[in-house]
Amino acid sequence: MADQLIDAGVQVGHKLTVGGSVTAVGSGAMSWLTENYQAIASLGVLAGIVVGVSGLVITYYYQRKRDRREEAAHQARLRQISGEL
């Protein structure tokens, strides 16, 4: 159950990062089509940066949790192997 939660967190973080980049690119494309292009481009880039950075933070958090869990499982397995010898 915990592994599924960590995997879900990593997937959400990745999707947020992609969403941030799409938002930034989309706002740049939309700015060419409108009169108020500087405001739209600025807001889009800002939103893209915020969403992208939040995605990176979420991904880092859950990857760190996964690494700790896998390291603990690895150490437990090594203790079990050394006890068997």
Residue with tokens 């939309």: 30
For residue 31, which of 40, 21, 44 has the smallest C-alpha distance? 40
Digit-by-digit pLDDT tens for the chain (85 residues) are 667 777 777 777 777 777 777 777 777 777 666 666 677 677 777 877 888 788 888 888 988 988 999 999 999 999 998 886 5
User: How many distinct helices (H) and strands (E) make up the chain?
Assistant: 2, 0
CA 14-16-19 angle, 5° bins: 110
CA 3 to chain centre: 16
Q: How far apart are CA 78 and CA 6, in angstroms?
A: 24
For residue 26, which of 50, 48, 52 has the smallest C-alpha distance? 48
Q: Looking at the whole model, is its pTM more than 0.75?
A: no
